[in-house]
Amino acid sequence: NAGVTQTPKFQVLKTGQSMTLQCAQDMNHNSMYWYRQDPGMGLRLIYYSASEGTTDKGEVPNGYNVSRLNKREFSLRLESAAPSQTSVYFCASSEAGGSQPQHFGDGTRLSIL
């Protein structure tokens, strides 16, 4: 009953370091998403993948890259971390189409010093 699994759960980086956040879902969903959540703000979409082999920018893509490795996995990479990227990152998946709700992983808490 895993649903959406994110790793790691916590990470502390120094400015300029790189890292990849991993996400996998076992619900056979076509669409996957990466969001960030900052205090006092709603979730903001970083990147999404409507289906295997496609990725597109969301509202706040600068400083990030993504890879849709296969239908199950969607990773988010920070090439050169900046303090402004300190946030909680959530991966989500859904059936195709906007009428279907999204299912979230339990988040990665990332601090950039």
Residues that bind other proteins (CB under 8 A): 31, 33, 35, 40-45, 48, 50, 56, 58, 90, 94, 96-107
Q: Which is nearer to other proteins, 5 or 20 (CB)?
A: 5
Q: Which is nearer to other proteins, 33 or 64 (CB)?
A: 33
Q: Name the residue among 4, 8, 16 with its Cα closest to residue 85.
A: 16
Q: Which is nearer to other proteins, 14 or 97 (CB)?
A: 97
CB of 38 to other proteins, least distance (A): 10
